[in-house]
Amino acid sequence: MDNGAGSYSRYLAGDDSALGDIVREYKDGLMLYLNSLINNTHDAEELMEETFYKLAYKKPRFSGKSSFKTWLYSIGRNLALDHLRRMKKKKYASLEECKELCSVTDIEENYIKEEEKLMVHKALKKLRIQYSQAICLTYIEGFSNFEAATIMHKTSRQMTNLLYQAKKALREELEKEGISYAGMG
């Protein structure tokens, strides 16, 4: 049983502090993944909170068929897909959403590394949503192909093909910007 599953079992048994352990362990990665799906930091943060709310109050059953992290990300993905369906019905964007899409990420201590990350993330946003999800799950979040396939409701073979196409598309997008990125070889 991985750490998240153990913490969740403790929470279900009455240890409220265990939920805090789960949130601390998974919030950043889950937030990044949800943002790759919906491309809106504010909404991704709300969906991340909603995912943990669901754990806290609805207490879904964890069967153990996958890792706890895979199961948790699947819950978040389903909430994000519901959110995207609701947003499709809206025909407008708020001024805040437009500002958020146009904002530039703060540059941290290591300027060159951060600039490279920004260029890769910018290129990811230009890709088909399935491509950016696949890359985010496997290369950024460190999920295995099998776990990523589970989250995305794909077979292992489909995931392998999807990753191949996603890396090719990302490489082409980066080359359009004049960037040679060795990490996607």
Q: Do 49 and 84 fall within a single domain?
A: yes
Nearest alpha carbon to residue 48 among 26, 70, 72, 31: 31
Q: Do 10 and 85 fall within a single domain?
A: yes
If one counts every other C-beta atom within 10 angstroms of the C-beta of residue 26, the result is 23
Domain boundary among 55, 70, 103: 103
Domain boundary among 103, 122, 142: 103
Q: Do 55 and 123 fall within a single domain?
A: no
pLDDT value at residue 127? 85
Q: Do 13 and 99 fall within a single domain?
A: yes
pLDDT value at residue 1? 45
What range defines the domain where residue 58 resides?
A: 1-103
Q: Do 93 and 116 fall within a single domain?
A: no
Residue type, 1: M
pLDDT value at residue 76? 94
Reported confidence tier of residue 182, pLDDT bands at 50, 70, 90: low
pLDDT value at residue 123? 80
Tokens found for residue 102: 């146009």
Overall domain count for the chain: 2
CB 38 within 8 A of CB 114: no
Q: Do 92 and 129 fall within a single domain?
A: no
Residue type, 104: V
* Higher pLDDT pick, 72 / 105: 72
What is the pTM (predicted TM-score) of this model? 0.60
Burial state string for 100-116 with b = 16 or more CB within 10 A and e = fewer than 16: eeeeeeeeeeeeeeeee
CB 127 within 8 A of CB 169: yes
Q: Do 2 and 87 fall within a single domain?
A: yes
CB 74 within 8 A of CB 11: no
> In this structure, is residue 86 part of a structural domain?
yes
